[in-house]
Structure 1
Amino acid sequence: MWFSKKMMFFIIFWFMASVGAHSLPPKSYEFVVKEASYTRLCRTKNILTVNGQFPGPTISVHKGETIYVDVYNKGRYNITLHWHGVKEPNNPWPDGPEYITQCPIQPGGKFRQKVVFSTEEGTLWWHAHSDWSRATVYGAIIVYPRRNYPFPKPHAQIPIIFGEWWKSDVRKVYTEFLQSGGSPNNSDAITINGQPGDLYPCSKSGTFKVNVDKGKTYLLRMVNAAMNLFLFVSVSNHKLTLVGTDGSYTRQLTRNYIVIAPGQTMDVLLHANQKPNHYYMAARAYSSGLAVPFDNTTATAIIQYSGKCNITSSPSPSLPDLPYYNDTDAAFKFYSSIRGLPEKFPHIVPPNYSTNIVTTLSINTFPCRKGQTCDGPNTTRLASSMNNISFVNPSIDILEAYYYHINGVFGWRFPSFPPLMFNFTADYLPLELEIPRRGTEVKVLRFGARVQVVFQGTNLVAGIDHPMHLHGFSFYVVGYGKGNFNEKMHTQDFNLIDPPLVNTVAVPKNGWAAVRFTATNPGVWFMHCHLDRHLSWGMETVFIVKNGKRSNQTLLPPPPDMPPC
């Protein structure tokens, strides 16, 4: 076949451009952690931020990219940053959880974090992973597809980040509740992109607005960065269509509302198909715990159509109908309806397992000791646990201890099954079951193990939903249920065809959730509840995945600038 000179020039130019594109150096971001002054709820205070922004800067990448983030700590306290939902193949060193994969970046310190994207596609996020710094230190990550979306390309894409706002210093809230032995003070407001909305005094002018054109479709990239709140979210007079969650696409699920747990991300389509006007987006808590205090305020943003409607002269929009705050059936119905999209994104769901772990998720209490403040139930100190172990952070990070064979930092005996067997979801349980043991125990997995984890909620102290997050992996949610898990009965109904692929699963109140994954990412990976009060009390453990036999199945060495302990 003969080519014209013009065609030959085009082919050579295309080839050179392609080679040049792949040889470009990775993107680099500079994140400066520092205090900045912000006003919310008629009050100005200094908060910890990244680059002086609240929420922090959005990271935009394409699927499979690698980036570097230079983190400078210009604040007064230690800090770490976690890239939530990014698997970091063979490289847990920059993953971020304090005293799990690294010691914190001290004031005046710097850490260059290599963030490797692999199979993720959709919306993820980054946040602080030390103490309660993530109350204000967070931002979105957008992972664009290499080619097309599995739905018509939206007209625009808007990050929608939900959070919580305290009038007081959140660091003081954190230290006071740990010292007291009780629950933390509730936040004073829920926020949407940093703003509580115009239902609050002094907030009307700052209410976040989404400008839309009638007939067009918008992709809302939602992140629940709230510290302790599941959220019901809706837009008045509009339906919302879920198309992805936790960096993976789903079958389209259209509802009047969504439920998003702390730590979760959701890609949601909004079709601007209503009469041009302005409409409220509203978010308020879903809280299933009996007598568990929570922030019962409502945050708002405004969906504003272009055209003749004028927000300054129009009457106030009406609020959408949201389920009642403790409507567990509404919440369970939503997240148990989410399905994966194996036709376009083939799933490799382990059909069986070689490693089976059943773990209880419990709120616990410790007896009051002399000299302690004990504001928990019946003059106790509140705690939490997995399989009756309340996790204790070491003073040297577990990854470093594992890599350098430092003894005495952690134990290897996280149990595969609950050490205490009882009716986990009974209405009344003996008080002696409430007391866990303290420990720093990990679970070791061989490379390539097909792992099933069943999370079993309990009714100790207070039954409540738990958003369980695993670092370094996404997993398939193959089953949900209420009450106690029964392997013989419930396994028969597992969804092995199109389960959603997520990194955070909402375990229902006094119920269970079953997940599966294949352990092909060597390293040290954190597993924890994403309700930060539960994390602070000890509802966490660590998976250590051993090296495989091949060179590309081996834990990479640490970077040269790891923060010192």
Structure 2
Amino acid sequence: MSTLQIRYEYVTRLCHRKSIVTVNGQFPGPRIVAREGDRLLIKVVNNVQNNISIHWHGIRQLQTGWADGPAYVTQCPIQRGQSYVYNYTITGQRGTLFWHAHISWLRSTLYGPLIILPKQGSQYPFPKPHKEVPIIFGEWWNSDPEAVISEALQSGGGPNVSDAYTMNGLPGPLYNCSAKDTFKLKVKAGKIYLLRLINAALNDQLFFSIANHTLTVVEVDAVYVKPLATNTILIAPGQTTNVLLKTKPHYPNATFLMTARPYATGLGTFNNSTVAGLLEYKTSHKNHHSSASLKNLPLLKPVLPALNDTSFATKFTNKLRSLATAQFPANVPQKVDRQFFFTVSLGTSPCQKNQTCQGPNGTKFAASVNNVSFVLPTRTSLLQSHFFSQSKGVYTTNFPTTPLNPFNYTGTPPNNTMVSNGTKMVVLPYNTSVELVMQDTSILGAENHPLHLHGFNLFVVGQGFGNFDPKNDSANFNLVDPVERNTVGVPSGGWVAIRFLADNPGVWFMHCHLEVHTSWGLRMAWVVLDGNLPNQKLLPPPSDLPKC
């Protein structure tokens, strides 16, 4: 059994020294490496004042919803001085995922790679790399992120943006006082490296590129894809992307910057800065360069797309395709039992009496799915109330499956931007095949939303701009080799269609992985009922399940 100790650690970044919440005193947190088929027992001990829960992002959690981790959804959080053992088996998955805190904004510092190696004797469906390197992107605040979101929710306005992006916890040389805090990737000439890229940033999708080098995408969200060569990748919070980096055949007389900066849509404020690392070639004895001469090499910088380059984002995501081979099939549901149409919106909620709010026109910012801004319970978890049939007063099962008041979603915004609040869920019988179209709206400005579905992988069968047309757009769905992942971007001013099979009993969260939007209520949950067979039923809760 692995033990993860949650505690405070002093860390210095951007000239600022502050105490942050860490796992085992590490930032980013420790790398967890397992193999497909392994059973993991991870004891989390909370030694800080904050309530804690850990989500194993992208793990299917078949029958083990109690180990999924989102606070008040599948468990009450772990309180100070308490512990909880996350107990789950990795079934039919291999690749790069990650783990992170799933309560408030604590995942700003509580995160780390979760790497699943293929079964013994299994090979990658691409050339064997010389070396594998996880690169995890994050965001850094000089202030306390918990205070940032608390103040924003009280004022109703937008939160203060982060002060930097990080690469493996380091901001890099483009920020003040950070030349020494730079991630360096040292490589040999003529080798293949597997870079395991993870976006753990709270609120920004990122473009990433390495100067004068091509990246070949071979996996997204722990699912192999048809190899895609590109100079730049787009990676949203919650997404992972494995790329092959083939180094130059001979030692180059240059050092190369690796940079990432936001892809930003909508009207929200964001951190318009760039995190950078260094790609340095190791020298051989025959071609020896001293560290002094390395410093004198020219430093080459990549050219990243513009901040709002939706055209690049669309082309990149449209090129991703499942491998769809006999060994790695794309099991996209061919028939559909239930169809849903969800609007994904930013909106407002009324300001309380005798309070001044800093949102639009004196309101509070809110966010919603089908006009419902989801409210989490506080005295129990949704999964507990479902399992013990004690939903009364906790949640209802009348989540609207289509918008209650249809409108021109991407046209002239409606006058009424107010959203309703509630804890409403959708109930699905076991093995229901689902088709869900998620439509962005322009109520408070069109925006790209990365939506993460817990408990399942989803197939992205179609996407487009404007309002979804059920007749014409459905006719063009890709049901052969659509990309399969756990987090999908709803295009800015457009729609995305996904399919998944509800073959995992439990309560499963679905939310925007831009943390500010989740905090504002852009979230909902699915209840998947037990099937008839023993292996189709949710297992009972463990005895150490935390209490609220």
Q: TM-score, normalised on structure 2? A: 0.96
Structure 1 runs of 4+ off > 6 angstroms? none
Alignment deviations for residues 104-157 of structure 1 (CA, whole Å, 9 cap, x no partner): 100111001113211211100000001100000000011111210000110000
1:486 maps to which residue?
A: 469
Deviates more, 1:363-372 or 1:331-340: 363-372
Q: Which amino acid aligns with 1:317?
A: L
**Map of 1:300-449 to 2, 5 A cutoff?**
300-307=276-283, 308-309=288-289, 312=292, 313-315=295-297, 317-343=299-325, 344-395=327-378, 396-406=380-390, 407-426=392-411, 428-432=412-416, 434-449=417-432
Q: Which amino acid aligns with 1:286?
A: Y
Alignment deviations for residues 412-454 of structure 1 (CA, whole Å, 9 cap, x no partner): 011111111011001x21221x111100000001101111111
**Map of 1:33-48 to 2, 5 A cutoff?**
33-48=6-21
1:114 maps to which residue?
A: 87
Instruction: Identify which of 270, 286, 289 aligns with 1:294.
Output: 270
1:237 maps to which residue?
A: 212
CA contact (8 A) 1:278 1:311 kept: no
**Map of 1:121-200 to 2, 5 A cutoff?**
121-146=94-119, 147-200=122-175
**Map of 1:205-216 to 2, 5 A cutoff?**
205-216=180-191
SS at match of 1:67: strand
Instruction: Identify which of 257, 261, 282 aligns with 1:280.
Output: 257
Identity of aligned residues (%): 46
CA contact (8 A) 1:452 1:514 kept: yes
Structure 1 position 309, deviation (Å): 4.7
* Alpha-carbon distance in 2 for matches of 1:455, 1:489: 16
* Alpha-carbon distance in 2 for matches of 1:506, 1:531: 11
**Map of 1:219-238 to 2, 5 A cutoff?**
219-238=194-213
Structure 1 position 268, deviation (Å): 0.8
* Alpha-carbon distance in 2 for matches of 1:224, 1:87: 19
* Alpha-carbon distance in 2 for matches of 1:153, 1:118: 23
CA contact (8 A) 2:64 2:88 kept: no
* Alpha-carbon distance in 1 for matches of 2:215, 2:49: 42
* Alpha-carbon distance in 2 for matches of 1:372, 1:316: 57
* Alpha-carbon distance in 2 for matches of 1:314, 1:90: 57
* Alpha-carbon distance in 1 for matches of 2:544, 2:264: 42
* Alpha-carbon distance in 2 for matches of 1:112, 1:423: 48
1:251 maps to which residue?
A: 226
CA contact (8 A) 2:186 2:281 kept: yes
* Alpha-carbon distance in 1 for matches of 2:289, 2:445: 48
CA contact (8 A) 1:278 1:309 kept: no
* Alpha-carbon distance in 2 for matches of 1:191, 1:174: 20
* Alpha-carbon distance in 2 for matches of 1:159, 1:210: 10
* Alpha-carbon distance in 1 for matches of 2:93, 2:35: 9
Alignment deviations for residues 459-499 of structure 1 (CA, whole Å, 9 cap, x no partner): 01121000000111001111111111111101111111111
Structure 1 position 34, deviation (Å): 0.6
Structure 1 position 310, deviation (Å): 5.1
- Is 2:56 aligned against 1:83? yes
Structure 1 554/508 Cα, relative in aligned 2: closer, same or farther at 3 Å? Answer: same
Q: Which amino acid aligns with 1:401?
A: S
Structure 1: gaps spanning 5 or more residues: 1-27
Structure 1 position 317, deviation (Å): 1.4
CA contact (8 A) 2:255 2:300 kept: no
Q: Which amino acid aligns with 2:399?
A: F
* Alpha-carbon distance in 2 for matches of 1:345, 1:82: 26
Q: Which amino acid aligns with 2:311?
A: D
Structure 1 position 29, deviation (Å): 1.2
Structure 1 position 315, deviation (Å): 4.5
* Alpha-carbon distance in 2 for matches of 1:446, 1:523: 11
Alignment deviations for residues 226-271 of structure 1 (CA, whole Å, 9 cap, x no partner): 0000000000000111100111100001111000001001111111
* Alpha-carbon distance in 2 for matches of 1:484, 1:340: 26
Alignment deviations for residues 48-78 of structure 1 (CA, whole Å, 9 cap, x no partner): 0100100000110111211100000001110
* Alpha-carbon distance in 2 for matches of 1:59, 1:211: 22
Structure 1 position 206, deviation (Å): 2.1
SS at match of 1:330: helix
* Alpha-carbon distance in 1 for matches of 2:300, 2:410: 39
Q: Which amino acid aligns with 1:280?
A: L
Structure 1 position 316, deviation (Å): 5.6
SS at match of 1:467: strand
Structure 1 vs Structure 2 CA RMSD: 1.1
CA contact (8 A) 2:61 2:68 kept: yes
1:16 maps to which residue?
A: none
SS at match of 1:493: coil
CA contact (8 A) 2:439 2:496 kept: yes
Q: TM-score, normalised on structure 1? A: 0.93
Alignment deviations for residues 291-349 of structure 1 (CA, whole Å, 9 cap, x no partner): 32100010001111011455652256132000000111111111121000011401211
* Alpha-carbon distance in 2 for matches of 1:299, 1:267: 19
Structure 1 position 94, deviation (Å): 1.1
Structure 1 position 535, deviation (Å): 0.2
- Is 2:528 aligned against 1:545? yes
* Alpha-carbon distance in 1 for matches of 2:29, 2:198: 13
Structure 1 position 174, deviation (Å): 1.4
SS at match of 1:431: coil
Structure 1 position 205, deviation (Å): 1.5
* Alpha-carbon distance in 2 for matches of 1:230, 1:177: 21
